[in-house]
Homo-oligomer: A and B are copies of this chain.
Amino acid sequence: MHEPVHHYLDPFLDKIETRDKLTEDEKAALRALPQKLVRTAARSRIVEEGEKPTHACMVLEGIVYRSKIASTGRRQIISFHVPGDMVDLHTVLFKVADHTIETVRNAAVVLVPHKAILETAEEVPALGRAFWYDTLLDASIQREALLNIGRRDARSRTAHLFCELAVRLKRVGLVTNGSFELPITQTDIADALGVTPIHTNRVLAQFRKQGLITATGKSVTIHDWRALVAIGDFDATYLHLEGPSDLHL
């Protein structure tokens, strides 16, 4: 079997390796996965709710988000994804996608067939654990989002979201001097936080006036990290940055 070897998945590899060192063989197995680089336009739908996707995808460039729609038409953004994130490993074992996946701006994603992921997970246990871990981390982020929306007011929710994105983007080297690209609209932020875009606008205006952060539709600059963390009640434990349990096999 001679699979062509790419390095598109290296960002995911890097993410894995901060928590679990891989051998050269394991890395090679990951790189040997069949994969396809796809560049998308802004607001492209990668997976639609109700579909049966055959590929999972990793974000290479840009921001991707997942969302669900209530029957009233109101949209909830479940999570944002940054480069190096495997976005829908979830559908690997499901018949239908229970949510939609979209890009905010033009982005680059790498598609990997479900079948290959399952086979590799079985043949290379370290990679199986890596895939599993990624979905567990994802779930942990969702739990924090649940706490955020359920038990914090709009101000706090907003601050928390920016804290989280800053940390996650920093991890992949996309933050310089407290500022990072974030080409999302206030409506996106509102839909992620369970509030109206109008209210989001007022919260952001207040933050700006207080010299906390500046958010244009393109980028975000954090001026007072400590204050933002305090307002957002942000504690990065749930991001499990220190890696997995030491309990290796």
Q: Give chain A's interface residues, CB within 8 Å of chain B.
A: 50, 52, 66, 68, 70-72, 74-76, 78, 89-96, 98-99, 114-115, 118-119, 121-122, 125, 128-129, 131-133, 135-136, 138-140, 142-147, 149-152, 191, 193-194, 233, 235, 237-238, 240, 242-247, 249
Q: Which residues of B contact A93 (CB under 8 A)?
A: 129, 132-133, 136, 244-245
Q: Are A68 and B147 in contact (CB under 8 A)?
A: yes
7 tightest Cβ-Cβ pairs between the two chains A and B: A150-B194, A139-B139, A74-B151, A76-B147, A122-B125, A76-B150, A98-B238
Can you list 25 A-B pairs, Cβ within 8 angstroms, ordered by A?
A68-B146, A70-B147, A71-B233, A76-B150, A78-B143, A78-B146, A90-B140, A92-B245, A93-B132, A93-B136, A94-B136, A94-B245, A95-B240, A95-B244, A95-B245, A98-B140, A98-B143, A121-B128, A121-B129, A122-B249, A131-B132, A149-B149, A150-B191, A150-B193, A151-B194
Q: List B contacts of A96 (CB < 8 A).
A: 237, 240
Copies, count: 2
Instruction: List residues of chain B with CB within 8 A of the CB of A52.
Output: 245
Is the beta-carbon distance between B243 and A143 smaller than 8 angstroms?
A: no
Q: Which residues of B contact A246 (CB under 8 A)?
A: 95
